[in-house]
Structure 1
């Protein structure tokens, strides 16, 4: 049965190459390039044909214009195949495209094909589900990675044109996306000892490199963002930052277990586990303090401690204490009293000034206050 599957796969590859050579050239069709791609993603499950993979990339190095027909040919082959071998080789070929620093690759966005529901049609379903899961998880990661790369490229373009500076909250969202990508990477693994074939182990080599690269990027950015949050003292940013730190700590243990698992199954490209992200306890306490105090940064706190004055109000058996912030480092005081205070001012001394016990009478009024001393008897208006 296994020999029949191999012979059938070789026959399909030969037929596909023959069809490709007879197909006319066009904006999305290149017979020579299609022939090389078919050979690079053949049904041979022994190993990846790296010779033809390099020939594919040679076309791309000649001109970035070949990216469009390359993606079209790979997409057509991925959509039609029912072989986990062809699907996995196509994903590895697509994964390698991100190594090229080409704007067209960075702006590709979501992958132009869908393997989220892939199902092998040649292997017994009881044995095929592990290969199907491997292909689906690998596709899920590459699809999200492609979208993330496009988002990062757009941000870089905006920063280059000085159109917009990235806010702390946007930085935090980027960290959350990186954590999501790492979670997707950790889902890509053989789930059965029978999967420890050469092709799967070669794919795991690519995954291990990717884990190291993405986690290193996260490690560099998370320390910088935590410092920014402490400087600005934003309550919402501190809350999200604490959530990111908590997820990173939980993820660190999963990464260590993942590296141990890959070492046990015989993945060759297993280096030392990366240094797990550890945020300083002092910084975590600062974030907690910002959340608790309602968004006060360490810098503002220090300034506030030096520039606060206490004002006490006493009256009618009431006592109130409030705090005011000094401005321009002046010694301001606030005095609250029940006694009315009259301030000297420049006045016209030619006018009489009235004195009154009534506190609501303006003692500085330019209109003289004349007490009523008239004793005239008013007539009886009712009689009149």
Structure 2
């Protein structure tokens, strides 16, 4: 950012503080909340430490989250600065992870940056910062909605396995969204983008770990699920195999770009091929092994043992043999008696 732009940005922040001060006095609102948000989302792309003020207010009283988020929403709706927008999203991301019950009940974000355009972007031609902000917002918004649903849903009538699979599908959607968040140009190698990317990579590690853990639990029960559940599980496994490759490429990209958190160790799990084949067998109705038939003679009866994967079934067929001293026997008994 040039010296002139820095000066203009500083003037804008001071003007916003003055407006917040008089607005607070006229409406009996707390001046400190508005001022804390403005300082935390200033136009200075190198200063992110002032967000601590916001968390001090929240830790002092969780109920302060409402006026603080209200002030943040107002600022996000008005801004056309990529710096302010990214700082606002980072602040919301940090709030989501602070594990305060009030925050967990918020759900979707209270503002919309899905069509954000920086004030210096050409009309109809969003640049890399705009796309980064839009994708970052879409992920956080969907994450809030999914986590809110998980925290507040009532007991469902659907089987537990189905609930697990539906949850897994939602987490895979979140991972897809996360893997789309990345800088698209070298001119985005700025401090604020690296800070945001560190948060994104940490989130990827968390979501991917959850997915792997849940898939492992599902695979333990793969032999006891029905065709519908097997179809859902197979779709999830195939998606996981695709995401495994995408995740590897994403981490390599981040390492080359210079994202520090990407250098931390993450185990990319490989889905066992035999589990995929087992699900395919269940779906296609091929779970039973080929039938083996053993025949032996017991008295005047042929006894067949037919062994499948599930049962051992014995079928006794009575057939009369013709001997020389058997005269006037009307024939054979054609019926089969199964046990």
* Aligned: 1:233 with 2:200: no
How far off is 1:49 after superposition? 2.2
- 1:189 maps to 182
How far off is 1:124 after superposition? 5.2
CA distance in structure 2 between the aligned counterparts of 1:229 and 1:313, rounded to whole angstroms: 41
* Aligned: 1:7 with 2:7: yes
Does the CA-based 8 Å contact 2:175-2:207 persist in structure 1?
Answer: yes
- 1:276 maps to 268
In structure 2, the gaps of 5 or more residues are: 289-306, 320-331
What's the secondary structure of 1:24's corresponding residue? helix
CA distance in structure 2 between the aligned counterparts of 1:195 and 1:5, rounded to whole angstroms: 17
When residues 94 and 279 of structure 1 are mapped into structure 2, their CA distance, relative to the original with a 3 A threshold, is same
Does the CA-based 8 Å contact 1:27-1:69 persist in structure 2?
Answer: no
CA distance in structure 2 between the aligned counterparts of 1:276 and 1:26, rounded to whole angstroms: 56
- 1:24 maps to 24
Does the CA-based 8 Å contact 2:227-2:283 persist in structure 1?
Answer: yes
C-alpha root-mean-square deviation of aligned residues, in Å? Answer: 2.9
- 2:213 maps to 220
CA distance in structure 2 between the aligned counterparts of 1:101 and 1:295, rounded to whole angstroms: 45
Does the CA-based 8 Å contact 2:96-2:104 persist in structure 1?
Answer: yes
- 2:51 maps to 53
Does the CA-based 8 Å contact 2:318-2:334 persist in structure 1?
Answer: no
1:253 to 245, 252, 255: 245
What's the secondary structure of 1:310's corresponding residue? strand
CA distance in structure 2 between the aligned counterparts of 1:294 and 1:66, rounded to whole angstroms: 59
- 2:322 maps to none
CA distance in structure 2 between the aligned counterparts of 1:311 and 1:109, rounded to whole angstroms: 65
How far off is 1:273 after superposition? 5.0
CA distance in structure 2 between the aligned counterparts of 1:256 and 1:206, rounded to whole angstroms: 18
Normalized against structure 2, the TM-score is what? 0.82
* Aligned: 1:310 with 2:302: no
CA distance in structure 2 between the aligned counterparts of 1:273 and 1:48, rounded to whole angstroms: 29
CA distance in structure 2 between the aligned counterparts of 1:248 and 1:96, rounded to whole angstroms: 27
How far off is 1:165 after superposition? 7.9
Cα-to-partner distance string for 1:300-321 (whole Å, 9 max, x where unaligned): xx9964442336699xxxxxxx
2:162 to 160, 163, 169: 169
Pair member with larger Rg: 1
Normalized against structure 1, the TM-score is what? 0.73
| Deviates most, 119-128 or 194-203 | 119-128
Cα-to-partner distance string for 1:139-177 (whole Å, 9 max, x where unaligned): 01100110111111124xx46xxx868621121111111
* Number of aligned residues: 306
How far off is 1:74 after superposition? 0.8
What's the secondary structure of 1:308's corresponding residue? strand
When residues 243 and 24 of structure 1 are mapped into structure 2, their CA distance, relative to the original with a 3 A threshold, is same
In structure 1, the gaps of 5 or more residues are: 297-301, 315-335, 340-384
Does the CA-based 8 Å contact 2:82-2:133 persist in structure 1?
Answer: yes
How far off is 1:29 after superposition? 4.1
Does the CA-based 8 Å contact 2:48-2:87 persist in structure 1?
Answer: no
How far off is 1:229 after superposition? 3.6
